[in-house]
Structure 1
Amino acid sequence: MDLSRGEKTFLAFTGLKGAVPVLLGSYLVSSGVGDADRLYDVVFVVVVFSVVVQGSLVPTVARWCRVPMRSVELEPRALGVRLRDRPEGVARHLVEEGSPAESSTVDGLAIGEDGWVSMVVREGRIVPVSSATRLRAGDEVLLITGEDENAIADLLTARGT
């Protein structure tokens, strides 16, 4: 992968700093060199100063070097369960626009007598599930069913795809 001149400059400015000097300074202390403690203190202060100054200049240098930076909003909540064995009949699907499931109620889905919709996530939020819950395109649906997984996927996939 070729990097532009700006990207190389940005990496040179922001790359790893401090680990090697601090390690070498610790070698000075352990080898018993005269004034090793004072030398280590100097190395440590210079490294901390360098990290603070360079760290505060990262957005400015990125602009100068034309390296795009963006803020990403964190999604702090995750819901997960770890299981020892692969659960049979559990599947996560996305309701596609134009699929038979779009605008259908949970009760109206043909997922078999033993099947049920365990969870619906819409726009990053859990939707309370009842038989009257109406599915929309883009909903993530967690299904538990004994039916053929491909047949269930067909319900949630747009026709003609």
Structure 2
Amino acid sequence: MDLSRGEKTFLAFTGLKGCRAGSPRQLPRESGVGYADRLYDVVFVVVVFSVVVQGSLVPTVARWCRVPMRSVELEPWALGVRLRDRPEGVARHLVEEGSPAESSTVDGLAIGEDAWVSMVVREGRIVPVSGATRLRAGDEVLLIAGEDENAIADLFTARGT
């Protein structure tokens, strides 16, 4: 993976700081070095300074380096499956306003006998799917498609687009 100059600079600035300093700072004490306590204190201050100062500058450095940062509100639930390859026949569609799927029931979709709607997500919530489930614009539909995925995709696209 190629990184831009800004990304490399950002990583150099924000890389791990102080996480391994705890072990080496004990060495002077264990080795009987003079001023061991003083060295221990200096390393401690440097680590705290590094974490606090550099940590507080991360958003500023990201802007300077043109590395996008955004705050994302965490969702309390995640439902997902990670697969090495895209599974054949699985499709995810957004019901567009004015599409044939809008206001249709799941049974009313012309998706064929070898395809079925597996999940509907509406406004961030899973909708229980049955034949009578009526689709709305903005719904995200996960389905297992049969032979003709393109014809099924057309059902979710507004006419004239």
Question: Cα offset for 1:12?
Answer: 12
Query: Given the superposition, is the C-alpha separation of residues 86 and 49 from structure 1 closer, same or farther in structure 2, using an over 3 Å criterion?
Result: closer
Question: Cα offset for 1:77?
Answer: 1.9
Question: Cα offset for 1:130?
Answer: 0.6
Mapped partners of 1:57, 1:124: distance in 2: 34
Query: Given the superposition, is the C-alpha separation of residues 114 and 7 from structure 1 closer, same or farther in structure 2, using an over 3 Å criterion?
Result: closer
Q: Answer with 7-16 or 90-99: which moved more.
A: 7-16
Unaligned runs of 5+ in 2: 24-29
- The alignment yields a C-alpha RMSD, in angstroms, of 4.7
Question: Cα offset for 1:152?
Answer: 0.5
Report SS of the residue matched to 1:11.
helix
Q: Is the 8 A contact 1:111 1:147 kept in 2?
A: no
Give aligned pairs, total: 152
Cα deviations by residue, 1:140-159 (Å, 9 ceiling, x for unpaired): 10111213111000000111
Query: Given the superposition, is the C-alpha separation of residues 43 and 124 from structure 1 closer, same or farther in structure 2, using an over 3 Å criterion?
Result: same
TM-score (norm 2): 0.66
Unaligned runs of 5+ in 1: 19-24
Mapped partners of 2:12, 2:67: distance in 1: 13
Cα deviations by residue, 1:94-144 (Å, 9 ceiling, x for unpaired): 111111001111010000012110000111110000111111111110111
Question: Which protein is richer in helix relative to its size?
Answer: 1
TM-score (norm 1): 0.66
> What is the identity percentage for the equivalent residue pairs of Structure 1 and Structure 2?
95
Q: Answer with 34-43 or 4-13: which moved more.
A: 4-13
